[in-house]
Structure 1
Amino acid sequence: MPTQTYFDKCQPFPEGVPTATLSRISYAKLLAHETDESTALFNACRDTGFFELDFQDDTAGQAFLQTAEAMFHVTEEVHAMDVAELMKYTYQPPGWLFGYKWIGDSKVEDGRLDRFAFYNVSRDDITGVMKPPLSNPSCIESRRSLFTSYMTQAHAITTLICSHLDVHLGLPRGTLSSLQPLDLPSGTSLRMLYYPPHPPEDRRNSLVGHTDIGTLTILFNVVGGLQILTPGGDPQDEASWRYTRPVPGCALVNLGDAMVEWTAGILRSNMHRVTFAPGDQGKMPRYSLAYLVRPYGDAPMKRLSEGDSIVPGLEDGEEANDMTAREWETYRTVAIRDGRDNARSRGGRRLDSSAKKKESR
């Protein structure tokens, strides 16, 4: 999460709250291609689909933390705007995912309205891939260089993670990164989220349990509230959900459904949700910053099972996914909204003995 300076502005996360046990991966060690750290990353991406990425021991990582802290200030400024003004930039799913989503636009599991708002900034817009540029509130337009810096840094982090996954999956170098480049149109965005405090008499879920539809997400938050479903847990059982504890200097990274699709379920996309913040943090507004990576629009969604890949090929009765990423994302989004695709954790497939031999080479 952002620097300790930003954490010092908030109430501390309370002790004694059941929290998820997540691997903490060193960004510096990934840059140095340390074998044990790379293996720990791969295992986390298979076991829980979540891990903490620690930026504190690297100069570039520390620079990213400073940029993230600046982005938190922008996030607060955006959500301090008059809602009527923000509504001029309303997003329109499933076809248009950029702009403002207001509190109560969707529902949580029990049918009540949600309790979060966000502003989605298109990476294509910021980096110039989209022509002409979009119109955004002035507090965003005046900081395009800051958004460019953040997205460029986040893309480098994504590329590094993918390079390690390529190795463990037996894929040619650069395979995963080639499916989500910086210079081709995609739905990749930076989402600035706001969750108001919950009334003490009505503390409940703010955001419905879900998996991310893209490839991976880099998340910063300071106030608690995010929960992940324990592997094998029942989403209807409250005991199966665990809070994640924000840690200064670390981002929370999770994989999305596209990674599961490409790897035939070897990698994992895990259910998560946002509920009320624990303890005195529940009295505070909650802001978070999510960099949501998606494949480029024309990327194929078929399995990456050729050559020396440990990804298994199609079995009898299975059909190839011949859709592009754009088609697949639209299909999934509509199916989810229509209730034809129930939220569930995906992936975590066990490796057979031949795959283990390939992966260990």
Structure 2
Amino acid sequence: MTSQNNSQNSVQSLPTISLQGLFDQDPAEASKLLDASKQYGFFYLNFQTISNSETILDLINQIYRFEERLFSLPQEYLMKYDVDDIGYMKLNGEEMLDRLHCLELKNGRDGFESYAIPKDGVLGLGDEPYVRPPIFDENMPMLKAYMREMQEVTISIHKALTRALGLEIGGKFEEYHRINQPSPCILRLLKYHPQPIDERGASGTAHTDLGSLTILFTSQPGLQVLMKGSDEWEDVEPRAGHAIVNIGDGMSLLTNGLLHSSRHRVSPPHGQAMKTRYSFAFLQRAQEQTPLVALRSPLIQANDESFKVVTSGEWLHQKFSMLRAKTHDKEKNWMLTGYREIPTKTH
């Protein structure tokens, strides 16, 4: 890959996966995907290769326009409908103030704003009504189409990794991420406020994603990744017609660390001020009763006897609790990053 800027801190080798290749069940593309998921935990996903690319890319542009309208509304108004604070769709353990006012700059502006839209609410998979701002009603067909498309995309990734790893029936990734089953997946909309060079700082704590897969769309730089074995943050440049995909904690736990959940953050590009930045991500999470235990594969090392099995729902709750806590049990610090050293499997 050739980076889109000349920064020596940009990732120079992040792989690109063809979405059409995944749809076609191309073994070579599945092997390439597995290698990227093990080595980097990040990759570009090319949407331009699929037959209906114009329709999907137009849908992506509609989401951009929708989030700009949404974030123009008063925060006090949006918080009345916030899914992280209301009912059974409470998907987030962060404090409201911390979540909506995440970085205080010198001039008093916030670092970024975030708004979560639950898949189950949009697709009507829950037992309770989805409480939402009126602006959602006129955009519900678009949101439903987006959720379904992203589920299809993530399932194609799961199936390719299932084949590449030789997973068995009853322990396949796609069986834990069924499209029409309730799960705490969300579309997270993000707006990052501008930062002059003299106020530069990372907008939010470096973290790993606690779910299975993240499908990020952004047209502006700012994403930085800490690659495996490196102590230097590297810029991941946006690409037109591509998503940036990363492996989350859930997939890492299901493979006992074989698939890598990389730490990442949003920060002004090296030597530059942060411009107003819009992005959005589909955060896929497994069905809540999914046991996060190493799946059976000749490539995956089994968990040791002391391993305590948690479900996907329990993992979300525990990690959110850790994020809220002011102090942490040192033995559980790895949960903050979703990563702990896993012995290398020998043959």
Matched, 1:84 2:76: yes
Question: Offset of 1:297 from its aligned partner?
Answer: 1.4
Matched, 1:319 2:313: no
Distance change >3 Å, CA 347–CA 247, structure 1 → 2:
farther
Matched, 1:150 2:155: no
Question: Offset of 1:114 from its aligned partner?
Answer: 6.6
Equivalent residue, structure 2, for 1:8: none
3-state secondary structure, aligned to 1:157: helix
Contact between 1:47 and 1:348, CA under 8 Å: does it hold in 2?
no
What percent of counterpart residues are identical? 27
Once the two structures are superposed, the pairs formed by residues 1-361 of structure 1 within 5 Å of their partners are: 14-16=5-7, 18-20=9-11, 21-90=13-82, 91-92=84-85, 96-97=90-91, 105-106=101-102, 115-172=111-168, 175-234=172-231, 240-277=232-269, 282=273, 284-305=275-296, 308-315=297-304, 317-321=305-309, 323-338=310-325, 339-340=327-328, 341=333, 343-344=336-337, 346=339, 352=345, 354=347
Distance change >3 Å, CA 293–CA 348, structure 1 → 2:
farther
Contact between 1:264 and 1:347, CA under 8 Å: does it hold in 2?
no
1:177, 1:231 → 2: CA distance? Answer: 26
3-state secondary structure, aligned to 1:22: coil
Distance change >3 Å, CA 230–CA 25, structure 1 → 2:
same
Distance change >3 Å, CA 157–CA 101, structure 1 → 2:
farther
2:287, 2:43 → 1: CA distance? Answer: 24
Distance change >3 Å, CA 66–CA 95, structure 1 → 2:
closer
- One-letter identity of the residue aligned with 2:284: V
Question: Offset of 1:145 from its aligned partner?
Answer: 0.9
3-state secondary structure, aligned to 1:291: strand
Question: Offset of 1:262 from its aligned partner?
Answer: 0.9
Distance change >3 Å, CA 104–CA 30, structure 1 → 2:
closer
1:310, 1:201 → 2: CA distance? Answer: 48
Length-normalised TM-score, structure 2: 0.86
Aligned residues: 329
2:281, 2:95 → 1: CA distance? Answer: 14
CA RMSD of the aligned region, Å?
2.8
Contact between 2:42 and 2:246, CA under 8 Å: does it hold in 1?
yes
1:195, 1:259 → 2: CA distance? Answer: 28
2:34, 2:250 → 1: CA distance? Answer: 16
1:349, 1:319 → 2: CA distance? Answer: 12
Question: Offset of 1:350 from its aligned partner?
Answer: 7.5
Question: Offset of 1:135 from its aligned partner?
Answer: 1.8
3-state secondary structure, aligned to 2:158: helix
1:222, 1:42 → 2: CA distance? Answer: 26
1:20-73 deviations in whole A, cap 9, x for unaligned?
131011112222222222111100000010000011121234422221111010
Distance change >3 Å, CA 353–CA 278, structure 1 → 2:
closer
1:221-272 deviations in whole A, cap 9, x for unaligned?
01111100022123xxxxx001110000100000100111111111110000
Structure with higher RCO (Cα < 8 A, 6+ apart):
1
Contact between 1:268 and 1:347, CA under 8 Å: does it hold in 2?
no
Structure 1: gaps of 5 or more residues: 1-12, 235-239, 355-361
1:266, 1:295 → 2: CA distance? Answer: 18
Length-normalised TM-score, structure 1: 0.83
Question: Offset of 1:287 from its aligned partner?
Answer: 0.5
- One-letter identity of the residue aligned with 2:131: S
3-state secondary structure, aligned to 1:201: helix
Question: Offset of 1:327 from its aligned partner?
Answer: 1.5
Distance change >3 Å, CA 230–CA 302, structure 1 → 2:
closer
Question: Offset of 1:133 from its aligned partner?
Answer: 2.4
Question: Offset of 1:279 from its aligned partner?
Answer: 6.7
Contact between 2:256 and 2:294, CA under 8 Å: does it hold in 1?
yes
- One-letter identity of the residue aligned with 2:228: P
Contact between 1:266 and 1:350, CA under 8 Å: does it hold in 2?
no
1:145, 1:116 → 2: CA distance? Answer: 27
2:343, 2:27 → 1: CA distance? Answer: 21
1:121, 1:100 → 2: CA distance? Answer: 17
Question: Offset of 1:309 from its aligned partner?
Answer: 4.5
